[in-house]
Amino acid sequence: MVALLNENIRPLGNDISSGDVILKKGRQLKAQDIALTASISVKELRVFKQLKVGLFFTGDELIEPGETLKNGEIFNSNRYALVALLTQLNCNIVNLGNIKDDFNATLNALDTLADDCDLIITTGGVSVGEEDHVKPAVEKLGKLSLWRIKVKPGKPLAFGHIGKSAFIGLPGNPVSAMVTFFLFAQPFIKKMQGMSNYKNQPIQVQTNFDWLKPKPRREFVRVRLDHTTMPASASLYPKQGSDVLSSIVWADGLLEIPEDTTFSQGKVLNYYSLN
């Protein structure tokens, strides 16, 4: 067999040519990106430093899984949810664990984390109860720019700064904490990490349920998609309480329902995937 001219020869620049931009700033690096840069003899890449995030969880009622539950106590699921979520986002986590409902204890925890962390996240203590000390403690050490939002679940959300550290105060209810983390904390973290694609991007889906009672706040309800319809249709989990963790386990996304809205089955709304 006689080889043809240029057969099985890869010409110079067949994959990458001089002057080509192969990776843009803000891209989250994948294994194939590393392979591509290595193929053109790039030994090092300038990247954003790993974000250091401090955590603590307020409440005298909080105990750890495996401990004996007494009256008025609950297992702290928020601790493990947030550690898992932040690990998925490749954050360096400083976890102070459970902090008692005490102003000085809250103040000391915030002060400790502000010395060393890019971002501080707490759950609980940002409402208006007698034992909610996070808000006054943040205001003593720094500044709150936002407190409470017109969203369900997640009304008691707080945002501010303590020195150079950003602060996000999530609600204490488990579903509220996870929903507000997804809607607000996760995009903020991705932005801090330098990602260009940091916003949650919704898709349009239709409902296969009725919404007959208008609500005064925008709601993000837990739903599951049926992809056999066109467009995909969303089924509503029957229990939407902010303490019902099974709803967010069952769901694959959040459906955004504007305030003061009613609709019948077939309404097209924004859906945000949790996957």
For the domain 203-273, what is the CATH code? 2.40.340.10
pLDDT at 11: 75
Q: Which residue, 154, 132, 125, is CA-closest to 248?
A: 154
pLDDT at 15: 79
- Chain segment 23-61, per-residue pLDDT in tens: 999 999 999 999 999 988 899 999 999 999 999 999 999
Sequence ranges of the chain with CATH classification 2.40.340.10: 203-273
Cβ 147 vs Cβ 214: under 8 Å: no
> Bridge partners of 221?
255
pLDDT range class, residue 129, cuts 50, 70, 90: low
Q: What is the rounded average pLDDT of the residues 6-13?
A: 75
Residue count of the chain? 275
Is the four-CA dihedral 136, 138, 140, 143 of positive or negative sign? negative
Q: Which residue, 92, 90, 169, is CA-closest to 126?
A: 169
- Chain segment 192-225, per-residue pLDDT in tens: 999 999 999 999 999 999 999 999 999 999 999 9
- Chain segment 53-98, per-residue pLDDT in tens: 999 999 999 999 999 999 999 999 999 999 999 999 999 999 999 9
> Bridge partners of 151?
218
Q: Is the pLDDT of residue 130 over 70?
A: no
- Average pLDDT of the chain is 93
* Distance (Å, whole) CA 210 – CA 205: 14
pLDDT range class, residue 252, cuts 50, 70, 90: very high
pTM, two decimal places? 0.90
Q: Is the pLDDT of residue 183 over 70?
A: yes
Cβ 123 vs Cβ 74: under 8 Å: no
Domain 52-63+74-192: CATH superfamily, name plus number: MoaB/Mog-like domain (3.40.980.10)
